[in-house]
Structure 1
Amino acid sequence: MAENTKHRTPRRRGTRIALFALAGLVLVGAGLGGVAYWKLNGNIHSVDISGQLGTARPPASTGGAFNVLVLGSDSRSGANGGLAGGDTGDTARSDTAMVVHVNQAHTAASVVSIPRDTLVPRPACTGTDGKQVAAVRSAMFNSAYEVGGPACAVKTAEQLTGMRMDHFVEVDFAGFAALIDAIGGVDVTTTVPIDDRDSGLHLDAGTHHLGGDRALAFVRTRHGVGDGSDLGRIELQKEMVKAMLGQVGSLGLASNPVAMWKLGDKLTNSLTTDSDLASVSALVGMAQTIKKIGPDQLTMVTLPVAYAVSDPNRVVPKAADAQQLWAALRGDLAVPQAVLQDQPTNPAQTSPSDAATGTWSGTPSDTPSDGTATPSGGAGASARATTVDGGAE
């Protein structure tokens, strides 16, 4: 089913909320136009995606619709080093990847999470050292960022979806945690205990108010709840998005310039964007463009995938369903019902008995025509949980 919040957030004229976050997602308040000082502009880091990729790309979006690739980086550099467990050495990968499609009328958005261990063709890219990296037939989606940075990640996403990524937004661990603290933390509810030594998150069943570090652990947790898969973790990230939207909507930023400045400072410090989006005025302009989109107009899904026969710790797109999904978004249509009906359950919102067996929603387990195995929970799901090396990874 489409991921929608159960309670509509009251509309506030001074606060316009857009969803682009890790793992999730980044919040942009149009009210920040009142505090768009040079300092905030100087906070934002940018990457010249268009300059690096040139013209060999899908055509730019027309008619008002546009697409944004949102990445959460798992870099351990700087302030990221001690956050949320895991170890990637000296490299960084796209820990979270979401394609956000905003419709032509700017009245609805579809968010597609791409599991980071999805095996996809990776195009030739310029490496982070300036050397050429050859195309490969099958590589994990998150490896594109590792070998070639944001531009290679965008190029890989465009090849996978057939859509131009009109914008790019990235947030790292420290930026996400700081942003959560800036909005006063978030409330999340779990119907089962969460105990993950790798991410460091330990929660009893119930509702909890999480600060930045624990919110980051929540969106990175997978070992301590459900079947331990990355697909279940994506569902936790969707829940965090809802919690962030609700919390920002309750702040009353229009009448609280101190809170507005604090959020604006943390927000701009947390972002790396494409060159066209790298200013407060551009971010506020985007927020104004999508001001009619609230939780009830947001559809969040995970790319339909199946376990790879060649490697049970990896997944591959379910060809027919994935192609139907991308075709719908290219045509500015709603997410197909077949995709909505075959989504994983939230491992934190299941009954204890379901959590013990890793139950998934959707169709029963079968073997598609491409020879892959469809995840469906039960005893086999934990054995085939999507993993990569390193701690909370």
Structure 2
Amino acid sequence: DSQPAATGEVTQALPPVVEPAAPVDLSESATQRRATLESRGQASPAEPAAAESAPADPAVSDEASGESRSGLLRRRRRPLEPTPNLTAAFEKVRAARRRPALEHSRQRATVARYTGRVLLALSCTLVLVGTGYMWNTKRGWDGSWNTTAAIDTNDPNIRNKGAQFGDETYLIVGTDSRAGKNAKIGGGDADTIEGARADTILLVNIPADRSRVVAVSWPRDLQVDRPECQQWDAETGEYGEDLYPAVGVKLNGVYAAGGPSCMVRTLTQMSGLNINHFIAMDFEGFEKVVNAIGGVNVCSTVPLYDYELGYILRRPGTKKLTGKRALNYVRARNISVEGNGDYGRIKRQQLFMSSLLRSTLSSDVLSNPSKLNRIVSTFIEYSTVDGVDTDSLIELANSMEGVDAGRVTFLTIPTSGTSMDGENNEIPRTEDIDAIFDAIIDDKPLPGEKKEQPAAKPSGTPGSAARTTKTATAGQTDATAQYPGNITVRVLNGSGEPGAATAVMNRLIAEGINVPGVADASKRREDTVVRYGSGEKDSAATIAKMFPGARIQEDRTVKAGVEVILGSQFQGVSTVASPPAPGSTVTVGQLPLANTNSDLPNDLSVTNAGDTTCS
């Protein structure tokens, strides 16, 4: 593993160096002297192209092939122009020396559907941070966009459309198509793996005042109700006969059956957002994109090992990933220290996109027109869009001048386990999903956002004393211990320690307590707290007695059972005690009612793009 550069510069990959048979001075001054001497020794002029073509590929040298220099001169003996102008040739040499080395082979079948996720990051990045200068230089590319029919701004499922006036909402989809060259990269072909599924789905909202960006990740196996659509042919991109509604299908299958239009309708039905832009990308350009951006930095506090892929990161710390290692980082789903399968993978994808976003915002990229042009060229070539063109991106980019990575927040759609019908669909938590998109539509604060906080009111301001009293005091309360089998607990990790929630889950299950799942808490905290909703105080107190120093707190956002949120003071699963005897009286610390300003759940998975904390 290579260590990160000491400076803020992005290190570029270099062409392979072949050891020459004899030392040769390749400096510009020496090259100019040799060219001048050779040209003056000739009597008649030749085609200038022959002179200019010589340095086109610096990675391969004639000397490395073993042929002597005198033999080379005899074989190349052609009449040259006296004192030719080699300026263009020198520029090609300089450019070639700066050019990142290309990957030497395609990814195998196992990397197939995951490369689209990295191109998805590219798509999101270009939407968010493209500069007006960059897009203005490419106005001529308008005719190069690959377009499709997807959006419907008159959909009756759009909620509170007036409140969304001026918002820009992008649906970005990474597909696993095997059509064309994708078969060579992904393995399989269009005959054995038909159609194109939505492997990664991201809904990005940019409000009218451009104060923030919210990107919501949707699990590909989410169980959804598909509305009436039209059948879609992924190979031709055309729509056909009617596609009847279906209940309880996988979200990624919606795209395969009904294409971009049906995916937009389905997510409009679930979110209420006015989706006015659509972008789909396949994975053919993955290698070129990774090389163009110079790699992506990721950080982990622990080594990451996947049961199928092996080591993702052998040592903790910051590493710059390119090629296959970057791909494995975003695709791994069997990392034991995470213990949450596909959601751990989604989290790593969000961290990867956040790092990519920060890299793109860096001066190394924004001040490098050549690099920007390569990235934009790839974006246009490997995407299919609706409601997206050069002019719209110029307008968006200009309106977002000065927006930094800290204003970009990634959320993940919450679920409540998998279906029992053999399909293993992720069951959506409908009320919590509604709360998320209500907050987005109404521009309400979201967990993890780095926005300027309003100044605190002076102590003499009416109402300030009441707020302080409400949140500052805590006391003791008595409760009756419950039977473990009657208690349902969700374990949320607010400690920042990887794997803590999974370890606690296993400990509680061993005591006969029902644990439907684990997740990261929306915010980190120091103390451990057990939150409960209506009628669950006794269950909360029973669980709190198992954790040293834990207190209970009523929270109206907890709809069922109780939630234990592990804080950084939690000393590990070895400190968890057995549950108290059922029917006994227990005394625990009681916190005041949770001061929640919205209906957002406590376990909402949040990633802020500006947060460089190693996790």
TM score, norm. by length of structure 2: 0.50
CA distance in structure 2 between the partners assigned to 1:68 and 1:192 by the alignment: 34
**What's the offset of the Cα at 1:239?**
0.4
Q: 1:242 to 1:281 in 2, by over 3 A?
A: same
- Aligned-partner Cα distance in 1 for 2:531–2:179: 41
Shift of 1:273: 1.4
Query: What is the match of residue 71 of structure 1?
Result: 173
Could you tell me how far apart the structure 1 residues matched to 2:283 and 2:291 are?
A: 13
Q: Distance in 1 between matches of 2:121 and 2:308?
A: 17
> Following the alignment from structure 1 to structure 2, what is the Cα–Cα distance between the partners of residues 369 and 255?
48
Gaps of 5+ in 1: 1-8, 10-19, 378-393
The alpha-carbon deviation at position 55 of structure 1 amounts to 5.3
Indicate how the Cα distance of structure 1 residues 323 and 255 shifts in structure 2: closer, same or farther if over 3 A, else same: closer
Q: 1:176 to 1:218 in 2, by over 3 A?
A: same
* Cα gap change, 1:216 to 1:35, in 2 (>3 Å): farther
Alpha carbons 1:23, 1:219 under 8 Å: kept:
no
C-alpha distance in structure 2 between counterparts of 1:350 and 1:189, whole Å: 14
CA contact (8 A) 1:235 1:344 kept: no
1:157 aligns to 2:230 (yes or no): no
Matches within 5 A, 1:169-208: 169-196=279-306, 202-206=312-316, 207-208=318-319
Q: Describe the shift of the 1:199–1:224 C-alpha distance in structure 2 as closer, same or farther (beyond 3 A).
A: same
Native 8 Å contact 1:172 1:270 kept in 2: yes
Identify which of 317, 321, 334 aligns with 1:210.
321
Amino acid in structure 2 at the alignment position of 1:246? R
Identify unmatched segments of 5+ residues in structure 2. 1-7, 9-117, 234-239, 449-489, 506-517, 522-528, 537-556, 567-615
Give the direction of change, closer, same or farther, for the CA distance of 1:303–1:357 in structure 2 (3 Å limit). Answer: same
Moved more, 192-201 or 261-270: 192-201
CA distance in 1, matches of 2:491, 2:360: 27
Find 1:289's aligned residue among 387, 399, 422.
399
Rg larger in 1 or in 2? 2
The answer to whether the 8 Å contact 1:24/1:240 transfers is no
Residue type of the alignment partner of 2:261: A
Structure with greater contact order relative to length (CA < 8 Å, sep ≥ 6): 1
Over 3 Å counting, the alpha-carbon distance change for 1:309 and 1:142 in structure 2 is closer
Aligned to 1:22: 120
Q: Does 1:107 align with 2:206?
A: no
Match of 1:389 in 2: none
Q: How does 1:239-278 map to 2 (within 5 A)?
A: 239-274=351-386, 276-277=387-388
How far 1:308 sits from its partner (Å)? Answer: 3.1
Shift of 1:66: 2.7
How far residue 375 of structure 1 moved from its aligned partner, in angstroms, is: 12
The code of the aligned residue for 2:178 comes to R
Name the CA distance, whole Å, in 2 between partners of 1:223 and 1:332: 36
1:219 aligned residue (308, 323, 330): 330
- d(CA) in 2 for partners of 1:187, 1:197: 23
Confirm whether residue 230 of structure 1 aligns to residue 342 of structure 2.
yes
Residue 158 (structure 2) pairs with residue 58 (structure 1): yes
**Structure 1 residues 81 and 344: CA distance shift in structure 2, 3 A:** farther
Deviations 1:122-149 (A, max 9, x none): 1111111412221112111111111111
Match of 1:332 among 428, 443, 446: 443
Normalising by structure 1, we get a TM-score of 0.75
Residue correspondence of structure 1 range 379-390 to structure 2 within 5 A: none
Contact kept? 2:293, 2:375, Cα under 8 Å: yes
Change (3 A) 1:228 1:335: closer
Whether 1:361 and 2:520 are equivalent positions in the alignment is: yes
**Contact map agreement 2:295 2:321 (CA 8 A) in 1:** yes
Contact 1:222 1:229 in 2 (8 A): yes
Q: Note the aligned Cα RMSD (angstroms).
A: 4.0
Letter paired with 1:360 = A
Displacement of 1:178: 3.0
**In structure 2, distance between residues paired with 1:140 and 1:267:** 28
2: distance between equivalents of 1:255 and 1:360? 40
SS at match of 2:262: helix
Q: SS in structure 1 opposite 2:395?
A: helix
* Change in 2 beyond 3 A, CA 1:259/1:57: same
Which secondary structure state, in structure 1, belongs to the residue aligned with residue 346 of structure 2? helix
CA distance 1:373–1:160, shift in 2 (3 Å):
farther
Q: Closer, same or farther in 2 for the Cα pair 1:228/1:350, shift >3 Å?
A: same
Structure-2 separation of matches of 1:365 and 1:334: 21
Cα distance change of structure 1 residues 131 and 357 upon mapping to structure 2, 3 Å threshold: farther
Q: Which residue of 2 aligns with 1:16?
A: none
Query: Quick one: which amino acid aligns to residue 89 of structure 1?
Result: I
> Which residue does the alignment assign to 2:223?
119
